[in-house]
Amino acid sequence: MTAYATCDLRTLYHLTEDHYFSATCGLHRRYSAAINAYFVDVCSGLYDLLFIRVGSAPLGEAFAAPLGLIHGSVLAIRIVVHEEKVAELREALCAIGFQPAEQTTAMVLELSRFIPRMSEGTLQVCLTRDLNEWAGPVGSAYSMLPEVVVNYQARHQRALDAGEALYHFTLSAEGRVSCSLTLSLCEGEARLNDVGTLKGFRGRGYATCLIQAALLHASSLGAHRCFLEASAEAISLYQQLGFARLFEYQAFTRGALADR
């Protein structure tokens, strides 16, 4: 097995990250190796969000351009900053109205080391293109309003229609779809997103079962590793599956502004 340095794994992580967000967002702008901006939806105008991710590559003067975009935008903005850049950017962001939000953890699993566990025979896992089934658990897990779920589903449908390498999984238990996730592939690397379970069905191992199925599918397609971004509450679940920490992200948010 090829050994990868942490810096190389970070590069691969950002590769899968950019592929997923550029595939599922309406518009993408790359400012540098470290900075990417995504407009969540430029079609409806209802749920526009400027989403900026600051990665591990050197910043240099590159942040001046997105700062100009921020100053000129009335959209709600979410900026996710690599742990090594937080001290450098915190003061500047707070000075223009941003507030620190949650921390998340970038993680990786070498798929050659993945050992699946046996699951209950009564659970049905499906790789589906029916996003009506897939969207329910995602919306429930992330407390999305119904109209936001519709918008999010439409974005994923556009990505599928465009031929993006996205794979949508569902798990059915007790007679209904109760868990879902998205697997994406980019240049031999996999990523998990949208892992969600319906309220009332959590704590039963359904997400673990579905993640294992997605990891097996990624391996069958030739993926070497799988990356993901974990909330604080989910880290222990992913560690039990063999995922290891790469680095932390700190989010900063600013609400939409009144039209100028």
71 pLDDT above the threshold of 60 = yes
Average pLDDT of every residue of the chain? 89
**What b/e sequence results for 80-92 when a residue is b if at least 16 CB atoms lie within 10 Å of its CB, and e otherwise?**
bbbeebbeebeee
Q: Which of 159, 153, 158, 147 is nearest to 132 (CA)?
A: 153
Q: Which of 32-36, 46-50, 135-139, 144-148 has the lowest mean pLDDT?
A: 46-50
Cα(38)–Cα(85) distance, integer angstroms: 19
Tens of pLDDT, residue by residue over 110-169, are: 999 888 876 666 889 999 999 999 999 999 999 998 988 998 999 999 999 999 999 999
Percent above pLDDT 70 for the chain:
91
**pLDDT at position 90, please?**
94
CATH of domain 110-247: 3.40.630.30
63 pLDDT above the threshold of 90 = no
Q: Where are the chain's structural domains?
A: 6-103+249-254, 110-247
Could you tell me the CA-to-CA distances from 80 to 33, 134, 226 in Å, in that order? 15, 26, 20
Q: What is the DSSP string of the chain?
A: -----HHHHHHHHHHHHHHHHHHHSSEEEE-SSSEEEEES-SSSSSS-EEEEEE-SS--TTTTHHHHHHHHT--SEEEEEEEGGGHHHHHHHHHHTT-EEEEEEEEEEEEGGG--PPP--TT-EEEEES-HHHHHHHHHHHTT--HHHHHHHHHHHHHHHHTT--EEEEEEEETTEEEEEEEEEEETTEEEEEEEEE-TTSTTSSHHHHHHHHHHHHHHHTT--EEEEEEEGGGHHHHHHTT-EEEEEEEEEEEPPPPP-
44 pLDDT above the threshold of 70 = no
pTM: 0.91
